[in-house]
Structure 1
């Protein structure tokens, strides 16, 4: 990771602006200016739809949950290996609008381009691009186009394209297209595996066009999932002539205008997408046409107003304001904006590690959602967190099936990477062996219920997930005589993918232990507060009366490898047996890409860690350890962790804050905050790093502000970086919203709304009893 890069964009608190055109940076900028609403995702490609090669651009449009599959080709197959791949599909592009000036096509790569600006307006959730273009024949036009993907209606996106002749009058032609000749760039975005689809896999069934509307319906070759889309066009004035056409792969409409010098012509292109996961295939095109009619009746301005209001609502609770550091402020908001817009909201979709900004990781959902993104929403947008949890609950039966494949007679085992709920990881040492995914999912359910006190959700869904995941933990290991009867879990991979198939991974064992306790507590809570739901649950999952006692016994006896000499918890049983890592043996150009340059066995034999592993467990459950224990372990793992994952630095930074290593904490935070915005890993073209983005929010709220739950009670431990004049954020706990202000001279917490709240600051109790009440202390 190169953290010494020159910032790419000007520093602005609410915007990210490309202030000049650099086509060499086009691929990366397509991710920067990507838009989404959790269902539709569209990369920040130009309206003119330039035909860049696979190394310089990707016209990407995606529908969350819509995927293609292919039979996985193994050199050697074993029982339980996934047989079908899953890859998010690149769907038809409806954004194309081309301008022709008196028969001369406008192309920003030719002629003269001036006053070029493209801005991601994060406050309102839109991208605005404007420029002046002088044709080779000397004719100048001023162009502005705006696009947004609506948070108000999941099926809608909109564009407003305006053009003004500056020094001439003549014929302007606007060509609007729907391109259904699409395919994924699999070889570029995931070049290391033979994991399709390759070539065209979403084939058009029907395309239509008339003077106002064009539509398309397509079906995936193997998964047979289908989608439909269409656009309707609204003009600021009547066109002098209109033409349209639809063929086997695309549709288009052209409007000719008798344009006058200085007079602006505007085209509004309103687009709708849907798919067969939401409705029957036969219903899709009728839905698209009906929705386009309704969208046209509502109009661009009304839709944008509704969308902007939801953006305002998001920022009211999710924004973190930093006084005195505009670059970090910009990075924070960029990160929060991207995770917000990429999260599934319909209860049947999750959030991919790249969101809906690119094809990286095949669009798969990982533990990133539960452990990095979801905690942000639990404290700021609990309804959004609940939707993401609903997705995991909807795939519980498939997790049960997966547990049987792995030899567990009862319980559920969630997949390491997936879209449809089935395991899609083809390399089990770094995939299926990461059993901690089960505890990560359980952690997210437990965190949501604890912070929101949503007992109804516990009764309806969360308790079932907690119990079914606990069942696997009670079966996967054993009470080992050679470890004094302690419960041991063998042959797993923790978060650290440089140490695979290990025994007693610390993070896995700790998370399993807490999963088991959470399941026991969930049953006790339901038995006391929702006896009918309790009885319904035990009947539904056929819970043996002895199981909760076994879960508690297992959790109580959980084994953790410990180095008595160093007085630290070991990442796994064999960690200290491995060869000390010698970074000098590795050429600099190979250090960050070990798996691309070295055999896995070479990597597994080294005493080092790719990313936060044991440290992450200690950060999550810091209340279980003394400060001295945290400090010793932090110092030890600092020396062996390479931070080759974007998920790592924010975790170390949060724990550094907890133990008072404030300079370390700030350094780690700074590395995380602008990681994507400045493209530290040189791979932003493939999509965002959603986990790290969410980790920057955690770095401030859980790190500098020290928020953690102690027996369900929020506790803070405040610190303000020396470079800052203050920072401010809000969190929602149960039904109450707390505004937190931290300044160099002290902290203030205000009850903005909701019921009375009890909280701790470094162990000292406080209470806010009514709206507007505040507590203040000096730092």
Structure 2
């Protein structure tokens, strides 16, 4: 099948023709969200595609259905109920009839067609010139946005212009509430659903130009409400409301060559935000506000929000238009996907599809959050707030796993409780604790937000550290070093291993960060420190034990190769022979081979030990980094979308510039070019964020792991220049790297001090620049 590609454009992604076979993945490309509601890029007029051809999708972040999980054999501590992001009623559908003929891309003739994601404006625009079977030509323009100014609102505008006739245009606005998830297609390894319809209608009614719906999930017993209101010069001709669907119809007379406009405002909310009895009245009131504002006002507000985002987050590349488009596409999608209310996180697929059941993973903290820490620290803080607000659930989970103190965060979740059903690749990934701790510490290092340390971060750092002090032991057979057994690191092809290098390293630094947080908190606010110590029943002996762990953490080491193996058994596993694996099965090992076969091979699915060495590169010499990089290059298959960006960043640091650029290029357009052939199920948010890291942490060499901001910039030989912004302790700085020099410019009045190629630099006032030769 021909590959779906888009023309290279700086600020747009454009579909130039409608091809049915490309439809499913294009729904993800043109998906829109605002961190609260998300909608897939389906057509306004609707279409009866099968489960293999398309997926209508509308979601509320954090709104889920649960199912009893069926196990062939159950053990204590296995999650008993699931959480799945639920597909919600669709209100986008608006059919159009021109003089009695239905506007339908599958009938008649498509004379002109284009659909564009305008990344600098935050909207999707579709332009169609269509000739009906009877020869009537119409120009149709569809605009859609999910408001960044109002989290509950989606807005649609449709303009119809008769080209060679005049007559009646009929718009019919629908609610389709009999929706269900495409679990078998989007999550084929899941056997517990939700299958079938899971929203029970509590109320469905029309009210003048409004359609209003309220429903409750069958199992989680959560209620949500949604509705739409129409704005048009036409008059209502029909209102039909059934048990699970309904529509209102409007007719307007259109003259030849003159456009008629139809607008629809849509709103969603749930009882996660307010008492159940208030959700439907809230929707009615919200739609009334939206009707007054109108589409054009929402579009203007959207542009303001996008300008604000791009002013700090944009990366400008001169010399490679394809990668320029790729990086902006990636940044746009992660920005619009992140929860902003402190109560929700960000799914691995954002709000673009049902993949991974909408679960939050470590992807947020290790890949996405660093982007926001440096470009939108307030958004980063809201994502961290979600983890703080689910700390009690993590404490409960720790006790289930046998830890009487501390907190153990779930591997995959929506509501804060563990939802991973296969513990070797789920619960065993204890490193989630250290990943979350790393994100909190990174936020504190880059923002200098001492109040957040006192209010929330210190507690999370201490409680995550406590689990590390309990899960391992000082092993006599390892010279009394501290060992952590039976865990799974980031590499999911090596499960339930002893002394995973990444896990041990991150655990040690988690404990070190907790001790740092306590010391700093005590120096800042001794009363708050004492209250935390009392609340957590923290004793001096516990801290002394932590210090002993820090000084005696065990790391596997191969004396012959002078490298750090991923775990104690990695070097004695069977050498991987790719030639024995049929090509069509290589990227789907778990779908084609028993896990035990996979576990016994000396190979890695993705960056594991290398990721730890990158994050804490200050602990390793350049020669150590090179030796380990060279080794892991030979055993890593990069079967995860989270892998290539990490290898590329480390390659850049150690001077492997050609490999760095190769890896970056693979990451930058992974979704835009659908390199993994699964974009239909939703974005790969971690990789998308990893491309920003590939430039800022990779080519520009930005680091903070030595306790200060350091930069070691270089220019890829394929580029003429690139530039980006970073926040640091309240300062906003623009960095431009070009041939032979780097320019630093302070964008606000907060002074900044940093090192560039080991040279101390201070910028004191807005507009001040410093140029350094490189």
Q: Please tell me the TM-score bracket, short chain as reference.
A: over 0.9
Equivalent residue for 1:702, pick from 681, 697, 700: 697
Equivalent residue for 1:48, pick from 34, 45, 48: 45
Equivalent residue for 2:418, pick from 423, 434, 440: 423
Aligned positions of 1:521-540 closer than 5 A:
521-540=516-535
Q: Which residue of 1 aligns with 2:336?
A: 341
Equivalent residue for 2:197, pick from 184, 200, 203: 200
Q: Using the alignment, how far apart are the partners of 1:693 and 1:175 within structure 2?
A: 38
Tell me the secondary structure at the aligned position of residue 612 of structure 1.
coil
Residue 256 (1) aligns with residue 251 (2): yes
What is the TM-score normalised by the length of structure 2?
0.99
Deviating more after overlay: 750-759 vs 91-100:
750-759
Q: CA deviation at 1:213?
A: 0.7
Residue 103 (1) aligns with residue 104 (2): no
Q: Which residue of 1 aligns with 2:459?
A: 464
Q: Which residue of 1 aligns with 2:508?
A: 513
Tell me the secondary structure at the aligned position of residue 709 of structure 2.
strand
Q: Using the alignment, how far apart are the partners of 2:241 and 2:280 within structure 1?
A: 16
Q: Using the alignment, how far apart are the partners of 2:427 and 2:763 within structure 1?
A: 46
Q: Which residue of 1 aligns with 2:552?
A: 557
Equivalent residue for 1:266, pick from 261, 265, 272: 261
Tell me the secondary structure at the aligned position of residue 227 of structure 2.
strand
Q: CA deviation at 1:126?
A: 0.2
Q: CA deviation at 1:6?
A: 6.0
Is the Cα contact below 8 Å between 1:155 and 1:273 reproduced in 2?
Answer: yes
Residue 491 (1) aligns with residue 486 (2): yes
Q: Which residue of 2 aligns with 1:475?
A: 470
Is the Cα contact below 8 Å between 1:233 and 1:269 reproduced in 2?
Answer: yes
Residue 171 (1) aligns with residue 164 (2): no
Q: Using the alignment, how far apart are the partners of 2:619 and 2:7 within structure 1?
A: 44
Q: Using the alignment, how far apart are the partners of 1:775 and 1:615 within structure 2?
A: 34
Q: Using the alignment, how far apart are the partners of 1:612 and 1:648 within structure 2?
A: 5
Deviating more after overlay: 394-403 vs 162-171:
162-171
Q: CA deviation at 1:745?
A: 1.9
Residue 246 (1) aligns with residue 207 (2): no
Q: Which residue of 2 aligns with 1:773?
A: 768
Residue 400 (1) aligns with residue 413 (2): no
Q: Which residue of 2 aligns with 1:324?
A: 319
Equivalent residue for 2:383, pick from 370, 383, 388: 388
Q: Which residue of 2 aligns with 1:159?
A: 156
Q: Which residue of 2 aligns with 1:656?
A: 651
Residue 446 (1) aligns with residue 436 (2): no
Is the Cα contact below 8 Å between 2:234 and 2:250 reproduced in 1?
Answer: no
Q: Using the alignment, how far apart are the partners of 1:387 and 1:344 within structure 2?
A: 7
Q: Which residue of 1 aligns with 2:27?
A: 30
Please give the per-residue CA displacement for 1:669-690, whole angstroms capped at 9, x wherever unaligned. Answer: 0000000000000000000000
Residue 635 (1) aligns with residue 603 (2): no
Q: CA deviation at 1:298?
A: 2.1
Q: Using the alignment, how far apart are the partners of 2:378 and 2:542 within structure 1?
A: 32
Q: Using the alignment, how far apart are the partners of 2:451 and 2:541 within structure 1?
A: 25
Is the Cα contact below 8 Å between 1:206 and 1:248 reproduced in 2?
Answer: no
Q: Which residue of 1 aligns with 2:726?
A: 731
Q: Which residue of 1 aligns with 2:15?
A: 18
Q: CA deviation at 1:580?
A: 0.8
Q: Using the alignment, how far apart are the partners of 2:714 and 2:604 within structure 1?
A: 29
Q: CA deviation at 1:105?
A: 1.1
Is the Cα contact below 8 Å between 2:66 and 2:220 reproduced in 1?
Answer: yes
Q: Using the alignment, how far apart are the partners of 1:308 and 1:401 within structure 2?
A: 44
Tell me the secondary structure at the aligned position of residue 287 of structure 1.
helix
Q: CA deviation at 1:754?
A: 3.6
Equivalent residue for 1:77, pick from 74, 79, 89: 74
Q: Using the alignment, how far apart are the partners of 2:248 and 2:142 within structure 1?
A: 18
Please give the per-residue CA displacement for 1:239-293, whole angstroms capped at 9, x wherever unaligned. Answer: 3x52212111012110011221112110110111100100111100110011111
Residue 712 (1) aligns with residue 707 (2): yes
Q: CA deviation at 1:544?
A: 1.8
Q: Which residue of 1 aligns with 2:280?
A: 285
Please give the per-residue CA displacement for 1:439-469, whole angstroms capped at 9, x wherever unaligned. Answer: 0000001100110000000001000000000
Q: Using the alignment, how far apart are the partners of 2:289 and 2:531 within structure 1?
A: 43
Q: CA deviation at 1:491?
A: 0.1
Q: Which residue of 2 aligns with 1:133?
A: 130
Q: CA deviation at 1:756?
A: 1.8
Please give the per-residue CA displacement for 1:705-760, whole angstroms capped at 9, x wherever unaligned. Answer: 00011432111111111110100000000100110000012111111114221111
Q: Using the alignment, how far apart are the partners of 1:337 and 1:254 within structure 2?
A: 35
Residue 65 (1) aligns with residue 67 (2): no
Q: CA deviation at 1:304?
A: 2.0
Q: CA deviation at 1:7?
A: 6.7
Q: Which residue of 1 aligns with 2:753?
A: 758
Residue 118 (1) aligns with residue 115 (2): yes
Deviating more after overlay: 352-361 vs 530-539:
530-539
Q: Which residue of 1 aligns with 2:183?
A: 186
Equivalent residue for 1:692, pick from 672, 687, 696: 687
Aligned length: 774
Residue 365 (1) aligns with residue 348 (2): no
Superposed CA RMSD: 1.1
Is the Cα contact below 8 Å between 2:616 and 2:705 reproduced in 1?
Answer: no
Please give the per-residue CA displacement for 1:591-648, whole angstroms capped at 9, x wherever unaligned. Answer: 1111111111111111000000000000101111000100000000000000000000
Identify if the C-alpha distance between structure 1 residues 6 and 196 changes in structure 2 by more than 3 Å, giving closer, same or farther: closer
Q: Which residue of 2 aligns with 1:378?
A: 373
Q: Using the alignment, how far apart are the partners of 2:548 and 2:749 within structure 1?
A: 39
Is the Cα contact below 8 Å between 1:9 and 1:16 reproduced in 2?
Answer: yes
Equivalent residue for 1:455, pick from 450, 469, 484: 450
Tell me the secondary structure at the aligned position of residue 193 of structure 2.
coil
Is the Cα contact below 8 Å between 1:217 and 1:227 reproduced in 2?
Answer: yes
Please give the per-residue CA displacement for 1:525-546, whole angstroms capped at 9, x wherever unaligned. Answer: 0000121211121122121232
Is the Cα contact below 8 Å between 2:117 and 2:124 reproduced in 1?
Answer: yes
Deviating more after overlay: 208-217 vs 274-283:
208-217
Which ranges of structure 1 fall in alignment gaps of 5 or more residues?
Answer: none
Is the Cα contact below 8 Å between 2:234 and 2:251 reproduced in 1?
Answer: no
Q: Which residue of 2 aligns with 1:602?
A: 597
Q: CA deviation at 1:193?
A: 2.4
Q: Using the alignment, how far apart are the partners of 2:762 and 2:675 within structure 1?
A: 43
